[in-house]
Structure 1
């Protein structure tokens, strides 16, 4: 947990009196409920919890969680979250952003909150579109995506949020999707991690990018297209008939068939969430030829930014008595006589 005393609450304690206003059918509703279910289960204290957001549909989140909240400016939520955490390290800080807010104008800020390893939970809602500003293509939109700004289809190669987070030095990388029953499990793992925990959540935009993720979230195809990784367990999917193995010669992952449940004979990898190299391969597997990797992909903590900074500050203060007058008089001084 984030260094706080667990208290007993219910989901009702985390619901505000504000009308939740997203488009009917928006995936944000499911994510909100998942977070509100998670908070009582981790013993979170509303008086010590802060939700910080930037600009976008996802960034309405602080209005709907009964805790402290800060609806900031476009792309700058990580900077505010960093300041909040440094000012009061006891606060449990959740950062809510979107693929446009966090990966475009806020890409620089997202990189640095991850690189510094500020102890926050970073939830990036990825709907592969700019929903609030009426459907322009975003940094994560797939090639060929039609939009008001790409009427003939996007020719951009999309950014991968998880690959970006790993490349920024992230120590916790996870994926889930809005209506997944396992989203709360991922959120709990992110909260338990000491440091910047990055969670990409695929989110259905019902208006501008409807059913974008049906190719791996729709029930008829889910078993055959989703790889839920769990630490210490073999990387199996398609009801255990397929798995992920390492092609040593090519130094890349490959899909293998599993016969009669003998995954060891097929060479299926056992997931090690501390293996950074395999984590990179998992998040960059091209979907279609491979399944979509979901769950906690990488989790290998290191000391947090605020712990290092506050320790440095404590050492600098040791044995010194605060004296503002002496500080102001230090160095060159002069007297102006009338």
Structure 2
């Protein structure tokens, strides 16, 4: 596969003439602008970029990107995107899905695109609700969520998208939220990764699940509730203006994470972990880290590339055709054939 040829574009080059139609205040607007601002910084080419979506509020995305796009069917976007990537490995493929589309009817397809490691960026917008179909509980809805389908409160234990991705074999897992200024950095890291890059984006549904992420995403006091991970940097959180106040360390007896008091000056003495994005075990602990006693882990949680699916397919095709010439007539006449004589003695092969 060829390296992407970088070109100069602006945000306007990625905007379509379509009216953006989400509910006023929807977090999808912020994600759309984040993507449209990020692609010029990557040097991406609209004519070599393809956005593929399933069904849901998030799946309107291809209409608003001045690129190639495909609004597919419920849950099947990963299968379509895999076919697109195999047909043209040089295309820059972005898959857009939601927590319902990607983890309910599409859970099986999502599993296979991740385990196969097809080279694309997968953005899963998680608003913990079915927004398009009027507010039913989704696979990620919290216990107790009241909705038309769970009028006295959901009792299902919610799915953890990043844990699902890690278990399915994803080699890149990132997290961000709609209005975060750091979301473009996560998108850039995902794009740089060769393979299936899974990004969970917490997204506010202004109508059916308003402000459900304010417990960690609200601006006031955010430093105490957000752990932004950066490879090679200590896991510190708190107010950066005061040198942070806390960090994440490993309780070696219990083999689990813990919060410790720490600053930029004494973090080593406090035992604060340095983030190693290639460490799958620590990534799993960060993903499962319970919010409340711990901050929400955001940024690039895991990044450890391996050969991609389409590269393996191309290699297989090359090996299978060595020394062979394409001859359809010979192929059709080979193998098990037979002759049928009709009553007049005419022969048909």
Displacement of 1:261 after TM fit?
Answer: 3.3
2:328 to 324, 327, 330: 324
Q: How many residues in Structure 1 have an aligned counterpart in Structure 2?
A: 338
User: Residue 236 of structure 2 contacts residue 263 of structure 2 at CA under 8 Å; is this kept in 1?
Assistant: no
Displacement of 1:336 after TM fit?
Answer: 2.8
Residue segments in structure 2 that go unaligned for 5+ positions in a row: none
Q: Distance in 1 between matches of 2:145 and 2:338?
A: 67
Question: Corresponding residue for 1:122?
Answer: 122
User: Residue 48 of structure 2 contacts residue 92 of structure 2 at CA under 8 Å; is this kept in 1?
Assistant: yes
Q: Distance in 1 between matches of 2:156 and 2:199?
A: 24
User: Residue 231 of structure 1 contacts residue 272 of structure 1 at CA under 8 Å; is this kept in 2?
Assistant: yes
Displacement of 1:2 after TM fit?
Answer: 7.8
Q: TM-score, normalised by structure 1?
A: 0.98
Show CA shifts across 1:281-324 (max 9, x none).
Answer: 00000100100000000000000000001101111111111111
User: Residue 144 of structure 2 contacts residue 154 of structure 2 at CA under 8 Å; is this kept in 1?
Assistant: yes
Question: Corresponding residue for 2:170?
Answer: 170
1:299 to 281, 299, 303: 303
Query: Tell me, what secondary structure is at the counterpart of 2:123?
Result: strand
1:310 to 289, 314, 317: 314
Q: Distance in 1 between matches of 2:221 and 2:79?
A: 40
Are residue 262 (structure 1) and residue 266 (structure 2) matched? yes
Q: Distance in 2 between matches of 1:270 and 1:302?
A: 23
Are residue 187 (structure 1) and residue 187 (structure 2) matched? yes
User: Residue 55 of structure 2 contacts residue 101 of structure 2 at CA under 8 Å; is this kept in 1?
Assistant: yes
Q: Distance in 1 between matches of 2:277 and 2:193?
A: 12
Question: Corresponding residue for 2:284?
Answer: 280
Larger Rg: 2
Residue segments in structure 1 that go unaligned for 5+ positions in a row: none
- Correspondence 1:23-172 to 2 at 5 A: 23-172=23-172
Q: TM-score, normalised by structure 2?
A: 0.95
Q: Distance in 1 between matches of 2:59 and 2:11?
A: 20
User: Residue 241 of structure 1 contacts residue 261 of structure 1 at CA under 8 Å; is this kept in 2?
Assistant: no
User: Residue 128 of structure 2 contacts residue 138 of structure 2 at CA under 8 Å; is this kept in 1?
Assistant: yes
